[in-house]
Structure 1
Amino acid sequence: MQYIEDVMATSDRVVAKAKKMTEEDLNCNQKGVTKQNKVSRWGPNHAGAKELAGLYTKGKRTQEVTCVYTCLFLAIFNIFQLVYHFSIENWAAPFAAALFGIVVADFLSGFVHWSADSWGSIELPILGQNFIRPFREHHIDPTAITRHDYIETNGDNCMMAIPLLAWQAFTFCVYTDERIRELYSWECFLFLLCIFITLTNQIHKWSHTYFGLPPWVEVLQKWHVILPKQHHRIHHVSPHETYFCITTGWLNGPLEFLKFWSRAEWLLEKLTGHKPRSDDLKWAKKTN
């Protein structure tokens, strides 16, 4: 009980900090700006944001389209298999396994988010321009994601889920019905893990969307079934060093209480000599 109270107290302190920020200027970049200051320090007119947005290529678009449709096909095939093999008498274990899959997806979203935010640069071969670039753009133009269509928003997450969904589809094709029933809880875990990995950036996009959301999305945010807006604002307080989990956000409080990310950064900095988010800061400071 004391642990839960400590987690909640830590979360409340961070939330209080975020609430002091205006919605359109989470880093207080415009506070005290004079008429003489013509340099945009945030948003689509920021020099770094413009350059990063311009690095989105036709090849990247092709990769995203391919991944979205491949992922959709595999997900449809697998959900039909799960429905076909479902048994109402044994629902509890599959339900618990599916819930655990969502929790693991939330942690993985945090790990990937932390890794891309904190380390590497867009100069890295293959990974840099294709996968780290969107993270750099997002911190200096957080609303850019709301202007992305479904393909650009979800292509990379679909790519990450494809190997697991493909393996699951393969097992459904080669395993006997008896073997599938034996592994049914595992299959539910794997499927929900994949689905929530796939949906992570869409959920993230909704957390930045303040107008025109479907009512059911707003209900899920209000109940904290998926990442709420106010909750995610905490991450966008500079220097973007906490609350990295962006699927449901359920793990942000406990991980913040444990100082999980800051301790991991301390260890990596000791081992490598590289400071976290140095490349992120470089793009934030870009003026031309």
Structure 2
Amino acid sequence: MNVMHTAKITARVSATRARSSAPARAPIAKRAASTTTRVYSPPNGSIDFGSVDEISGSVDADQDLRAAMVERDTAETLRRTIAAMGGAPVQDPAAFISTPEQRLQTSILFGSCAALCARGVVGVHENILASGGGDDPLAYASLLAAAVGAWWLSDLGTGIFHWSVDNYGSKQTPVMGDVIDAFQGHHKYPWTITKRQFANNTHTTCPATSCVTIPLLLTPDLGPNACVFMGVFCSMVVLSQQFHAWSHAKKSELPALVIAAQDAGLVISRKAHGQHHKPPFEGRYCIVSGWWNDALDGSGVLKRAERFIYDTTGVAARCWTEATFNVQEEAPEGWGNDIIR
């Protein structure tokens, strides 16, 4: 090894040791009074820190220091992102009232879903007539099975979507920024969802979902079972936000039919969803019925996905932190009186 090469290595080692002796940053918990963050799922194992060879050996011992620095920087990045999202809730009660535009969006979506289901029923009837008529209970039973399957799988769909917006992106994310910010804000001010009128609460996902249902209605060869499946599936995805709102309401505020549906496990209950609202807000993401929550959480598939995303992109999931902040469970006294019905 020539003198110049040895000098370069010595300079790199000296720089590394100088960094290790520099004063450590202040603990994250002391830098924010209302938000504390700690990475509890350290990404150290997935990072290749490399090593610097020296004539007498290596400086691989510095990997622990570098891993700690990466963990601290990851926590700081997550803390800043979480603190900046979902700020003060909308205080004007008028903003919680459904607008004509929101009602139109929900009408188009649910109208197209109903039309898909009706087309499925008509299609089965026409198939029976074309085959010579007579009763065919199995044909209608298949439609019912398609509807039940759509309800069952829609819970899984909402869980994956909820996981993604809870953990990735920010208010600056194109297209989905407002939705992501709203989900993060919901962790801080869960009471707001209970005050929104129906169309105001559900309209946000209607335009995107209508981009699925309307083209399906115009598809000429779509089978009856597929029509019913997609009609029920898309309507459940949008209605999940209303089920979500009911899961935050007190039983005394809910209609008896809704309580019965929650007790039967048809829609997510307050008890089942309440487990999600504990820092770091991980798990229990499904919000149609909650049926898939045990399967998703128990399998660890979402954790593996988070690890894969980190290994591939360097982006850590927000649930890799313990972030505590002031949570406002109840609306301010008298908020919205004489305005929201």
Alignment of 1:263-274 (within 5 A): 263-274=304-315
Q: Match for residue 71 of structure 1?
A: 109
Q: Match for residue 122 of structure 1?
A: 171
- Flag the structure with more relative contact order, 1 or 2, with Cα contacts below 8 A and sequence separation at least 6: 1
RMSD: 3.5
Alignment of 1:147-158 (within 5 A): 147-158=195-206
d(CA) in 2 for partners of 1:47 and 1:167? 38
d(CA) in 2 for partners of 1:137 and 1:162? 26
Distance 1:118 1:81, change over 3 A: same
Normalising by the residue count of structure 1, what TM-score does the alignment of the two structures yield?
0.71
Distance 1:193 1:258, change over 3 A: same
Ranges of 4+ aligned residues in structure 1 off by more than 6 Å: 38-41, 54-58, 60-63, 278-283
The structure 2 residue matched to 1:141, chosen from 184, 189, 192, is 189
Distance 1:230 1:250, change over 3 A: same
Alignment of 1:243-254 (within 5 A): 243-254=284-295
For structure 2, the 5+ residue unaligned runs are: 1-32, 37-82, 126-135, 328-341
What are the superposed Cα offsets for residues 19-55 of structure 1, whole Å, 9 maximum, x if unpaired? xxxxxxxxxxxxxxxxxxx9799xxxx9975535379
The answer to which of 63-72 and 106-115 deviates more is 63-72
- Report the secondary structure of 1:51's partner residue: coil
1:188 has 2:228 as partner: yes
d(CA) in 2 for partners of 1:260 and 1:124? 25
d(CA) in 2 for partners of 1:254 and 1:213? 28
Alignment of 1:133-282 (within 5 A): 133-171=181-219, 175=220, 183-210=223-250, 211-277=252-318
d(CA) in 2 for partners of 1:54 and 1:282? 24
Richer in helix (by share): 1
1:99 has 2:139 as partner: no
d(CA) in 2 for partners of 1:72 and 1:65? 11
Q: Does structure 1 retain, via aligned residues, the 8 Å contact 2:86–2:183?
A: no
Q: Does structure 2 retain, via aligned residues, the 8 Å contact 1:158–1:198?
A: yes
Q: How many residues align?
A: 235
Distance 1:81 1:48, change over 3 A: closer
d(CA) in 2 for partners of 1:142 and 1:74? 31
What percent identity do the matched residue pairs reach?
23
Higher Cα Rg: structure 1 or 2?
2
The answer to which of 99-108 and 221-230 deviates more is 99-108
